[in-house]
Structure 1
Amino acid sequence: MVIYNKKIMRNEIIILEKKYWDAMANHDFETVKELTFFPCIVAGKQGVRNIDEDTFAKMFEDTKNDTISSVDITDEQVSIVSEDYVVLGYNITLEYTTKGRTTKLDCVCTSAWVRTDGRWQCPLHTETEITRQ
């Protein structure tokens, strides 16, 4: 029987998710690449995409003049499937700036995290914009 500390794993995954958002905001592709399992699946308003590392790098480069900031992550829900697989859901408020226009979005996100070769990586992320109430 495998014994692992669920509270430590929960905190570790939340910290990694925030690290991922920080790396996106700072245009730190090396950190994003390190935390992403390729090919990864991304789902959002543009549909579902299966993205390899080269495509992800091009997308990252194409948005280098845009800014993104994670304003607030709340209501984290963590499901520990096994010692090597965790699913996370949360609410997030983001600010995107593209072509000089800033948009504030409230979203719900989910991410799957898998531990391979001793390190956590994200093979799946979804974002769904929600209506402010």
Structure 2
Amino acid sequence: MLRLLFSTLLLAAMPLLAQTTNSTEAILAQENAFWRAYVDGNTPDLSKLLLPDFISVESEIWNRDQVLDFVKKFHAQCTLAPVKIVDPHVTFLTPDIATLVYHATEAPTCGTRTMSGETNISTVWLRRDGRWQMHLHTEYAIPPK
């Protein structure tokens, strides 16, 4: 009887364990999708990843529409090299709220001038209707040494 109870509990826990692993991978996949859309200037895809009440915090605080407008204007005259996520840390605050913290190098080119900078980034992802969407994105540019 005890063996049957243990087996039942183990089988019941398996989906939860799998969900945690898959959710971490899902968060990283969404963050990478965000950067692909941003780098490509693909505002339709980018808008699908951002919640209506999305907020971006950098040197200024912008809402979703301001970010989408900026991306359009930026790509009219500049490009951004692919952004690589380095040393990511995903934490689930609830099953439907996750934070992601990582380091990245951003290298925009405007005309003939390329600027490169190290950045610490954090993102809050919310799962709504089975989809992970970005609620908050912050970037802190690390001053050159």
Aligned to 1:30: 44
Structure 2 length-normalised TM: 0.80
Which amino acid in structure 2 is aligned with residue 62 of structure 1? K
RMSD: 1.9
Deviation at 1:48, TM superposition (A): 2.4
Deviation at 1:27, TM superposition (A): 0.9
Residue of structure 2 aligned with 1:102, choices 104, 110, 114: 114
Counterparts of 1:44-63 in structure 2 under 5 Å? 44=58, 46-49=59-62, 51-53=63-65, 55-63=66-74
Q: Residue 6 of structure 1 aligns to a residue in which SS?
A: helix
Aligned to 1:86: 98
Deviation at 1:95, TM superposition (A): 0.6
Structure 1 CA distance for aligned equivalents of residues 64 and 143 of structure 2: 31
Question: Radius of gyration: which is bigger?
Answer: 2
Which amino acid in structure 1 is aligned with residue 81 of structure 2? S
Contact (CA 8 Å) 1:113, 1:120: kept in 2 or not?
Answer: yes
Q: What do residues 80-119 of structure 1 show as CA deviations (whole Å, max 9, x unaligned)?
A: 1122110000000111112432111110100000011221
User: In the comparison of the two structures, how many residue pairs are matched?
Assistant: 129
Deviation at 1:47, TM superposition (A): 2.5
Contact (CA 8 Å) 2:56, 2:67: kept in 1 or not?
Answer: no
Counterparts of 1:108-119 in structure 2 under 5 Å? 108-119=120-131
Contact (CA 8 Å) 1:40, 1:124: kept in 2 or not?
Answer: yes
Post-superposition, which runs of at least 4 consecutive aligned residues in structure 1 deviate over 4 A?
A: none
Deviation at 1:6, TM superposition (A): 1.3
Aligned to 2:25: 11
Which amino acid in structure 1 is aligned with residue 60 of structure 2? G
Structure 1 length-normalised TM: 0.86
Deviation at 1:15, TM superposition (A): 1.1
Whose helix proportion is higher, 1 or 2? 2
Whose strand proportion is higher, 1 or 2? 1
Structure 2 CA distance for aligned equivalents of residues 48 and 56 of structure 1: 10
Q: Residue 107 of structure 2 aligns to a residue in which SS?
A: strand
**Structure 2, unpaired ranges of 5+:** 1-14
**Structure 1, unpaired ranges of 5+:** none
